[in-house]
Amino acid sequence: MSTGIRTNAAAELLGVSPNTLRSWERRFGYPKPERSPGNHRQYELLELQTLRDALTETGNISSAVALARQRQSAPATQFGLEGALESFDEAAADRAMEESLAVRPLERTVEELLLATIDDLAADPEREAELEFACRWATSWLHGARRLAPTASRPAGILLLERGDSPEPETIHAQALDLALRRAGFRVLTLSSELGEDRLVRALRALEPSALVLCGPGRGAGDAAQIVAKVRELGFEAPLYSFRAGDGESATESAGDSPGAVTQTLNSELRRRAASAFA
């Protein structure tokens, strides 16, 4: 199944008309969509986000296209960030992120640099102090990026339910997912999976989510099943997915193990439901 973005949604994400978007494709060959079996344009989300950021910086489509192409082709390296975090140097860590953002899109910087570095530190039990410092720094950085994220450009809401007993690195992955979904135009609400029933009902009614995502590993195979049962008992039928769940958890379908993969899964699900509604 294609995971691209249709023309109207792509134009809305960029803040232009569909005709303008198609004219950019003709003039610059960018963004360059693929075609669906029905010959509909399907734009790559990361390409759109990279162009949107470049347009904000340059204010000129020719310069923005050149900058977006450069950023998408740049290789990622995590050594500068990892060294900064190992030295407990917050300013150096910020510089490493800024240097990455100058040559590659935010989505790649977060996944290939920030999250990869956190995972490397988490894999080494001898660097527990460095990991704690890194997680605190990453939380602050991601919150800052979230404040700068564009406002929602689509009505679909996504409820992220974060497991309260998840290891700290998993919390960072959940925060990165929150940021990725906001930048993709979704309305996003992140709450604890251990909310009481009354609070969960209020959140569900306020957001009216198009999908729910359980973030992080649970206590066991029955943990996800209990959450699913609670949501269904409350009368909500939105699909439930898991993100970076533990082994043996089969009560929910995995949406992917990276923010980008989850975003693509949710885009596909919403497109499938929209097509079914008009079938």
Which CATH number do you get for residue 36? 1.10.1660.10
Strands 157-162 and 187-192: parallel
Task: Tell me which of 126, 147, 168 is where a domain ends.
Answer: 147
Task: Tell me which of 73, 90, 116 is where a domain ends.
Answer: 73
Same domain, residue pair 248 and 167: yes
Q: Residue 108 belongs to what domain range? A: 79-147
**pLDDT tens, per residue, the chain with 279 residues:** 346 788 988 898 898 999 999 999 999 999 989 888 888 888 888 889 889 988 988 989 999 999 888 887 766 566 689 999 999 999 999 999 998 898 888 999 999 999 999 999 999 999 999 999 999 999 999 999 999 998 898 888 999 998 877 789 999 999 999 999 999 999 999 998 887 888 888 888 888 899 999 998 865 555 667 777 777 887 878 888 999 987 656 667 889 999 999 998 998 888 777 766 554
Same domain, residue pair 268 and 204: yes
Same domain, residue pair 45 and 24: yes
Which CATH number do you get for residue 177? 3.40.50.280
Sign of CA dihedral 248, 252, 257, 261: positive
Same domain, residue pair 200 and 267: yes
C-alpha pair distances (Å), 210 with each of 205, 264, 265:
12, 14, 12
The answer to whether 216 and 162 are in contact (CB under 8 A) is: yes
Which two structure tokens, joined as six digits, stand for 172? 């960072």
In a domain, 1, yes or no: no
pTM of the predicted protein model = 0.78
Task: Tell me which of 73, 94, 128 is where a domain ends.
Answer: 73
In a domain, 207, yes or no: yes
Distance of CA 66 to the CA centre of its chain: 24
> What is the number of structural domains in the chain?
3
Same domain, residue pair 247 and 201: yes
